[in-house]
Amino acid sequence: PVSALSVNDNTLAVTVRPGRVAGAPARIALSPPVEYYAIDNRVRTVEGGEAKVEVERSAGGRQLRLWGEIGVKSAGATHTVAVSDPALFAAAALYEALTRRGVAIAGKAVAAHTFPDDVPDSPAGSPPKARERAVLAERESPPLVEVLRIVNKVSQNLHAELVLREVGRARRNLGSRQAGLDELRGFLARAGIEAKEYELADGSGLSRRNLVSPAAVTKLLAHMYRSKHREEWLSLMPVGGTDGTLEHRFRGIPEGKRIRAKTGTVAHVSALSGYANSGRNGPLAFSILVNNYSAEDSEIRRIIDRISSWLAAGGE
């Protein structure tokens, strides 16, 4: 779930460890240790060292049901689950952090939601007036470029969705997906990319409704390379065989380190778009999008890596 108030990427790690003897209930630990979900633990300890554990989250509710078996010699098993209400989870985390430090709080953690569709657009530069509040503590965000490096280097989808909504908030005083997409479409038009060349549904690219042509991506890459933000833009992209989602790609390929590119991966889709520094021919913008294939993902990635490495070698 996407929320302006997010803690731990809106997830909980549920670790299951065996009881002390076969037949005993398994031991459950949450990280961060926030009492947000009620735990229905049906995992039993058995002989051996295997772990066969399933976790189910109630739809829209606050209960986790765990079942299965875990061997008494097992080191444990960890499952990551999304929280159903990120803002309420953040409130519960703050509540527990304060109470652990001796701060007395009356009542319980609650979250009051205002949805973007319930708030009309405000004129640019005049955000809706907030109620006066007493500021007890502040934390300043890292510069935007550092946030974007995380988004692009490791493909942090939640952060991409949050940045999209922040664009809408900054430009239209409305932190919604639609406001962010409208601003994005305007930017792409100014970059010379026609609306018929793409269809956008979100900020992360996870939606199957996202459609884009390699030509449109290459136009964007060329536009950004010519812009005054070139250096910051290039710093966002993984480097072949070095970091991010390309850290383990281009192994044994010398030209790999001359590639800065962003991966794109969902089921039966593999993509790589960015720049190949070809030396003699200068930097080349490229976009390789492969979908609906029946081959193994690893084979498709190898083919993509060979093509982009060929570009980095100057097409020779």
Using one digit for the tens of pLDDT, what is the confidence trace for 75-108? 999 999 999 899 999 999 999 999 999 999 999 9
Q: Please state, in angstroms and rounded to a whole number, the distance separating the CA atoms of residues 174 and 111.
A: 20
DSSP SS3 for 117: helix
Q: Which residues contact 63 (CB under 8 A, 6 or more apart)?
A: 37, 38, 39, 40, 57
Residue type, 53: V
Predicted confidence band of residue 19 (pLDDT cuts 50, 70, 90): very high
DSSP SS3 for 31: strand
Residue 13 has pLDDT above 60, yes or no: yes
- Would you state the pLDDT for residue 137? 87
Q: Please state, in angstroms and rounded to a whole number, the distance separating the CA atoms of residues 155 and 69.
A: 34
DSSP code, position 60: T
Q: Which residues contact 178 (CB under 8 A, 6 or more apart)?
A: 116, 168
pTM: 0.87
- Would you state the pLDDT for residue 10? 94
Which of 279, 272, 244 minimizes the C-alpha distance to 258? 279
63-71 and 38-46 strand pairing: parallel
Residue type, 42: R
Which of 242, 250, 276 minimizes the C-alpha distance to 261? 276
Q: Which residues contact 169 (CB under 8 A, 6 or more apart)?
A: 127, 175, 179
Average pLDDT of span 236-240: 98
What is the enclosing helix (H) or strand (E) of 193?
A: none
Residue with tokens 């884009």: 212
- List the alpha helices (DSSP H) in the chain: 86-100, 144-154, 157-172, 177-190, 214-226, 230-235, 297-312
Could you report the per-residue pLDDT of 173-225, keeping only the tens digit for each? Answer: 999 999 999 999 999 999 999 999 999 999 999 999 999 999 999 999 999 99
Q: Please state, in angstroms and rounded to a whole number, the distance separating the CA atoms of residues 152 and 154.
A: 6
Which of 275, 270, 266 minimizes the C-alpha distance to 301? 270
What is the enclosing helix (H) or strand (E) of 66?
A: strand 63-71
- Would you state the pLDDT for residue 112? 86
Phi, psi of 147 (to 5 degrees): -65, -45
Q: Please state, in angstroms and rounded to a whole number, the distance separating the CA atoms of residues 316 and 310.
A: 7
Cβ neighbours around 226 below 10 Å, total: 9
Q: Please state, in angstroms and rounded to a whole number, the distance separating the CA atoms of residues 74 and 20.
A: 11
Concatenate the DSSP letters of all residues of 250-298 into one string: STT-GGGGGEEEEEEEETTEEEEEEEEE-GGG-EEEEEEEEES--S-HH
- Would you state the pLDDT for residue 132? 82
Residue 125 has pLDDT above 60, yes or no: no
